[in-house]
Amino acid sequence: MPAYNPPLRDMRFVLQELLQVDQMFAVLPPHAGLDADTIHQVLEEGGKFAAGVVFPLNQVGDREGCRFDPATGSVTTPTGFRDAYRQFVDAGWPSLACDPAFGGQGLPAVLNNALYDMLNAANQAWTMYPGLSHGAYECLHAHGTPEQKALYLPKLVSGEWTGTMCLTEPHCGTDLGLLKTRAVARSDGSYRLSGGKIFISAGEHDMAANIVHLVLARLPDAPPGTRGISLFVVPKFLPDANGAPGARNAIHCGAIEHKLGIHGNATCQMNLDDATGWLVGEPHRGLNAMFVMMNAARLGVGMQSLGLTELAYQNAAAYARERQQGRSLTGAKHEDKPADPILVHPDVRRMLLTARAYAEGGRAFSSYVALMIDCEQHHPDPATRQQASDEVALLTPIAKAFLTDNAWIACSDALQVFGGHGYIAEWGMEQYLRDARINMIYEGTNTIQSLDLLARKVLSDNGAKLRQFGGKVRAFAEAHAADPRMAEFLVPLADLGEKLGKLTMEIGMKATQDRDEIGAAAVPYLRVAGHWMFAYFFARMAQLALDKAAGGDDFYRAKLSVARFYFARLLPETAMLIRQARSGAASLMAMDEDWF
Ligand SMILES: Cc1cc2nc3c(=O)[nH]c(=O)nc-3n(C[C@H](O)[C@H](O)[C@H](O)COP(=O)(O)OP(=O)(O)OC[C@H]3O[C@@H](n4cnc5c(N)ncnc54)[C@H](O)[C@@H]3O)c2cc1C
C-alpha cells in the first residue's frame, strides 16, 4: 500500500533557512506579524489533513472515477471526495491566503504554496477542485467590479462555492483567438452566452452548492483573434437577492471525458444555451484578465507535479529499502538476509536520487516564486515590487514546464524502482505516472510555456529579466567565492550561466532572420534555464548544509549528498540540451509537409 509523509522538515528548511521568509514577511505590511511558530503550525495541520483525509482517497478516486448521469446532467465524485471537501471547508483551508476583506485569513502565498505541495502529493485529482477555485478567486479579486467581488468572493473564499476556468473549445485549445462562444448584451446589464466548452476541470460536481464559471467569449463587435475575447462570470445557479444560489442557469454539463489519469476530477463538456453571465473587466480584454488566473494556475500545475514527484520518491525509497534482490557488487551488505535490499545497487540509487533531487529542487524553486508573488503584491517599495513582478513573469513558465517534465521523469524512474510491481495498480506508482502526464499538457502545453519564456519573457526585452536574475546568482557566487568547499557548485553554476547567456544571444540573432529558430530552440532552452535555476538553489542549499553537515545532522548530510548528485548527474544534461537548442530549425523544417 502506498504511503505519504508530509515533508515538513524540508519545507521548514526551505522557508526558514533557505528563503528566510521571516525577513521578507517583516517588510510586507500584511504579513509583518507572522512568526515561525504560526508557519509551523499551519504546515503541520495542513500535512495532517493531506495525509490523513485526502491521501486515503487517492486510489479510490482513481479506481472509481467520476460518474455522469445523462438524465440529470449531474456528476458524482468518487467515494469520500465530497466529505473530505466539507472537512476542508469547515477547517477554513480555502481562505488561507485570501483577502481578509472577503473573509480570508490573509496569509502569504508562499504558505499556501506549501499547503498545495502536500495536498497535490496526497491527491492531485481532489486538490484540483479547491485549486481552481483559488484561481477564480484571484481573477475576480483582480478584475471584478465591487458588486461582483461582494457577491462571489466571500463564497469562493469560504469554499462554499467552487470555481472553474472555461477557455477550451473543440476547435481551439492553444489558439484561443479561434474561440466562438458568443456573448450578447441584455438590457439589464447581463449577457446571454451560447457555445460549447470542452475539457473543463471541475465543471460539474457534487461537492459545493454553486459553481462559478469564468468563461471566455466573444461580443458581437469583437475584433477577430485574441484581441476580441471578453471574460464573463457565469454561475451555475444565479444568485438570488440574498446572494444565495437561486434559479438554475443555462450552463450544463453534457458529458465527462474518460481519460488517462486524474480520474477523480471531472473533465466536463459544458454547454451554454443562452446562459446568463456578467462581464468581468473591460470588453475585449478578457484574455488579459484571465491571465491572472492562468498565471496562478501555471504555478499551481507545477505544484501538482512537485507533489507527485515527492510522493513517487517516498514510495520508491521505502520499497527499495525492503525489496531484496541480488547482492551488492562490492560484496553482500546484509548477509543475514537471502539477498540485499535493492537500495545497494547504484542504478536504483540513481533513480531514487533523480526523483529526490527534482522534488527538493522543485520545492526550493517554487517556494521562491511564491515568495516573489508575496513581494510583488505587498512590498512597500514600487521598484522592489516591479523587480519581483519581473521575476514572477520570467519564472512562471519554468515552474510550469520544468517541474512537470521533471515529474514525468521522476514518476517513471520511481515506477522502475518497483520493477514489474510498479506497473500494476496495487502499489500506486502507475497512477502517479498517469496523473503526472496531464500536467505537461494543460494550462498551456510545455511547448507553449517554452515559447512564452524564450520569445516573450527573454528575447522581447533583450534578456533584461534574465540578466536581473543572473545578478542574484552572481551576487551569491561572489559572496562565497572565497570558500573552497563551494567550488564544486559555483564553478559549474557560473559556467552554465555563461553558456545560457551566449545561447540566448545566438538564438536572438538567428531569430532576426528566421522566427522558426525560436520554435526550434524553445523546449531545450527552457530546460537549460530550469537547470540553471535549480543549480543556483542547490548551490545555496549546499552552502547552508556544508557547515551543519559537519556537525553530523543527517538532514544536512543528505541535503549535501542530493546537491552533489544533482551537479554530477542531472546538470550535465544541459550539454546535450544546448547542442540541441543550437542545432537550429533546419533539421526540423527540411521535411516537406507532404512527406509526413
Ligand atoms: C484533463 C484535462 C483538463 C483540462 N482542464 C481545462 C480547464 O479546466 N479549462 C480549460 O479551458 N481547458 C482545460 N483543458 C484544456 C487544455 O488546456 C488544452 O488541452 C491545452 O491547452 C492544449 O490545447 P489542445 O488540446 O486544443 O491542443 P492543441 O492546441 O491542438 O495543440 C496540439 C499540439 O500542438 C502544439 N501546438 C499548438 N500550437 C502551437 C504553436 N503555436 N507552437 C508550437 N506548438 C503548438 C501543442 O503544444 C500540442 O502539442 C484541459 C485538458 C485536459 C486534457
| 3-class secondary structure per residue, 344-390 | HCHHHHHHHHHHHHHHHHHHHHHHHHHHHHHHHHHCCCHHHHHHHHH
Ligand 1 center to 445 CA (angstroms):
6
Catalytic: which of 257, 443, 478, 573?
Answer: 443
Kindly report the protein residue whose alpha carbon is nearest to atom 25 of ligand 1: 173
* pLDDT (mean) for 548-566: 94
Confidence of residue 447 (pLDDT cuts 50, 70, 90): very high
What's the confidence (pLDDT) of residue 233?
A: 98
**573 included as an active-site residue:** no
- Atom number of ligand 1 nearest to Cα 172: 26
Ligand 1 center to 569 CA (angstroms):
32
Encode pLDDT of 151-175 as tens digits: 999 999 999 999 999 999 999 999 9
| Strand partners of residue 218 | 182
Confidence of residue 288 (pLDDT cuts 50, 70, 90): confident
* pLDDT (mean) for 318-330: 97
What's the confidence (pLDDT) of residue 324?
A: 97
Cβ count near 546 (within 10 Å) = 18
- To the nearest whole percent, how much of the chain has pLDDT over 70? 100
Encode pLDDT of 268-287 as tens digits: 999 999 999 999 999 999 98
Kindly report the protein residue whose alpha carbon is nearest to atom 30 of ligand 1: 173
Distance CA 488, CA 492 (A): 7
Distance CA 505, CA 260 (A): 40
Name which of 148, 157, 44, 40 is nearest 105 in CA terms: 157
Q: Which three cell numbers stand for residue 562?
A: 542530493
Ligand 1 site residues (CB inside 6 A) read: 165-168, 173-174, 199-201, 259, 267, 438, 441-445, 447-448, 519
Within 13 A of 319's CA, how many CA atoms are on the CB side?
28
* pLDDT (mean) for 482-496: 98
- Atom number of ligand 1 nearest to Cα 203: 8
Residue type at position 178: L
Tell me what the pLDDT averaged over the chain comes to: 96
Kindly report the protein residue whose alpha carbon is nearest to atom 2 of ligand 1: 199
Ligand 1 center to 168 CA (angstroms):
8
Q: How long, in residues, is the chain?
A: 596
Distance CA 301, CA 131 (A): 9
Beta strand extents in 9-73 (DSSP E only)? 67-69
What's the confidence (pLDDT) of residue 549?
A: 83
Q: In 204-225, which positions are buried (b, 16+ CB within 10 angstroms) versus exposed (e)? A: bbebbebbbbbbbbbbeebeee
Residue type at position 561: S
Give, for 301, the enclosing helix (H) or strand (E).
helix 286-322
Residue type at position 46: G
Kindly report the protein residue whose alpha carbon is nearest to atom 52 of ligand 1: 199
pTM over 0.95: yes
Distance between first and last Cα of the chain:
45
Name the DSSP letter for residue 92: T
Gyration radius from the chain CA atoms: 24
- State yes or no: pLDDT of 291 exceeds 90: no
CB 16 within 8 A of CB 63: no
- The phi, psi pair for 174, rounded to 5°, reads -65, -45
Helical H segments across 379-486, by residue range: 382-417, 420-423, 429-438, 446-451, 464-479
Ligand 1 center to 81 CA (angstroms):
27
Kindly report the protein residue whose alpha carbon is nearest to atom 27 of ligand 1: 173
Encode pLDDT of 66-105 as tens digits: 999 999 999 999 999 999 999 999 999 999 999 999 999 9
- Using DSSP, state whether 211 is helix, strand or coil: strand
Cβ count near 341 (within 10 Å) = 19
